[in-house]
Amino acid sequence: MNPTPDSPATEPAPEADWVRWRHDFHRFPETGFDEHRTAERIAQVLTLLGLEVQRGVGGTGVVATLRAGSGRGVVGLRADMDALAITENAPQRAHTSAHPGRMHACGHDGHMAMLLGAAQLLAEGGGFDGTVRFVFQPAEEHGRGAAAMLADGLLARFPMDEIYGLHNMPGIAAGRFATRVGAIMASEDNFVIRIHGRGGHAARPHQLVDPLVIGAEIVLALQTIVSRSVDPQQPAVVSCTGFHTDGIRNAVPSEVVISGDTRSYAPEVQALLERRMRELCDGICRAHGASCEVEYTHEFAPTVNHAAGVAAALEAARRVVGTGRVDADTPPVMASEDFGRFLLHLPGAFVFIGNGAGSEPGATPLHNAGYDFNDALVPLGARWFAELVRLRLPVIAEERP
């Protein structure tokens, strides 16, 4: 009997079963901290593979442990679990979402299947000496799951020497691995600016303090932060994405709320963006006789790869797909990834695996209602994770005092 999400077993699963796991996750997507069915399916498979399984880490997270031999090294492998609040538009797809308004539009269903496949390869094939932690993280999409697991004692309860993760990437040829040393994905900070003016009749603007005009000036002024305050060699983005008022057609509002986000790769740039935003908003409002509050929150840490981890990730990829399908210096992207918070505490690396480019089916962008994870990647990712373990555990053992 082959393991399926509904009936796991300890016999070896062919790659087709790993893909069926992926389709099951895709049919029943769950958003951040609501991944109850997903977590239970994961725990069932891991338990019947013989791993030690801990549920409920950081809410709905799952951590499983696999040991072999007497090696003291510990490698962590991480996959994200949550879906997005998007209605899937793929009626022809046999495994389309059964939950209206939710879908795996970012490929976390595939990431989970890859990591489960790696657990099975290592549990049944061995070839390593030490300990592997399989970390299934909730709530990646909003940047809260990693922090929740860490706050729940992840590293104290399940110590690790290193940690690794991956993400599928439409726009890169299917099955091609890509990573780089240093910053590979950006931080994301969110902001809300509340401007308090004095509203009134649109026919008598001289009696008012117009927060619309002030808000428009602030939106334009914020664009000078990157162009005039940030070192041109340091990437950064400031985006205003919302502008809301309490006004009506013939009345100037009293309140305006501007929302948006900023992205960067370095903590000092994050700090600069926040400081200049507060200074500009306060100064412009004071100049017009208004007041404001700036709420600025740090949602995602930048994802910054460690050199030794990248070297290992690249070598594992070469062993799986060959040297010609591995990019050792891929350009960084301004999107954010919650894995970056783990790399603040542990060495390791994060890589991209191509989901498809050009006319390939997997080229549909992430967070698109028609997106689907490329099933051909599941065995590649599973073998990559397993190769990483076999490569790194002997090195960790040698480096330990």
82 a catalytic residue: yes
Query: For residues 278 and 68, what is the distance between their CA atoms, to the nearest angstrom?
Result: 53
140 a catalytic residue: yes
User: Which ranges of 129-231 would DSSP assign to H, the alpha helix?
Assistant: 145-151, 154-157, 211-228
Q: Which residues pair with 292 in a beta bridge?
A: 195
Do residues 256 and 242 touch, judged by C-beta distance below 8 A? no
Nearest to 353 by CA among 324, 339, 332, 374: 374
3-state secondary structure of 339: helix
**Residue whose tokens read 């919302």:** 242
3-state secondary structure of 289: coil
The vertex-126 CA angle with 125 and 130, nearest 5°, equals: 160
Within 10 A of 1 (CB to CB), how many other CB atoms are there?
8
Query: For residues 79 and 317, what is the distance between their CA atoms, to the nearest angstrom?
Result: 17
Q: Which residues pair with 327 in a beta bridge?
A: 178
Catalytic residue among 140, 141, 261, 327: 140
Catalytic residue among 17, 30, 80, 82: 82
- Annotated active-site positions, please? 82, 140
